[in-house]
Amino acid sequence: MATVPPIDLLVMERWLRFHDMGKQEATEVIQQKWQERWNRRTVASWSRKTVPDISQWINRRHGEMGFYTSQIMTGHGNFEQYLHRFGRRVFSRCMYCEEEDTAEHTLLICPKWRVQRSRNSTQDLTIDDLLPFLLANADDWQKFETFASQVLREKDNEGRSRGF
């Protein structure tokens, strides 16, 4: 999500450039290798669903990753399944609807967030639509950022009030 290739690929890019490959060509080679590695990974499956094409993500023209956006995009945040996995919750069910609480559930499914989805034009999103929506324009990116911060802040506050 940080848009910086793994260190070994950065070293390879510098090596290629040192050996007379142009910057653009070296960058393309590295992005291709990074994409191949990304596609083969067995972990971070949610992140791969949110960003299936690394080149589109790292070459975007707008949008900075905020605290809550990064939680939604990676699935590492205030999601009962994630917290349960690390022993921070007894159950992995959503506190609002009893379904499995994941980033996908919060973003796309949970009826609790229907109004926020509607208000921020994210109500009709599917996982396949997410990256094109974010990359379309800065306004859509901001709508997503607003949705993520509203929902995850409310989840944080609700969790604190319940003693989590």
67 falls within a domain: yes
Strand, helix or coil at 93?
A: strand
Output the pLDDT for position 163: 63
Does residue 130 fall inside a structural domain?
A: yes
What's the first-to-final CA gap in the chain, in angstroms?
A: 28
Is residue 21, in this structure, part of any structural domain at all?
no
60's tokens: 């975007």
Q: Is 124 among the domain residues?
A: yes
pTM for the model:
0.86
- 12 phi and psi, to 5 degrees? -60, -40
112 lies in some domain? yes
* Residue 153 domain boundaries: 62-161
Residue 128 lies in a domain: yes
84-117, pLDDT tens digit by residue? 999 989 999 999 998 999 999 999 999 999 999 9
pLDDT tens profile 46-69: 999 999 999 999 999 999 999 999
Tell me the pLDDT tens digit for each residue of 22-43.
999 999 999 999 999 999 988 8
Please check whether residue 140 lies inside any domain of the structure.
yes
- List, in order, residues 6 or more apart from 25 with CB less than 8 Å away: 16
Tell me: pLDDT of 161 over 80.
no
Per-residue pLDDT at 84: 95
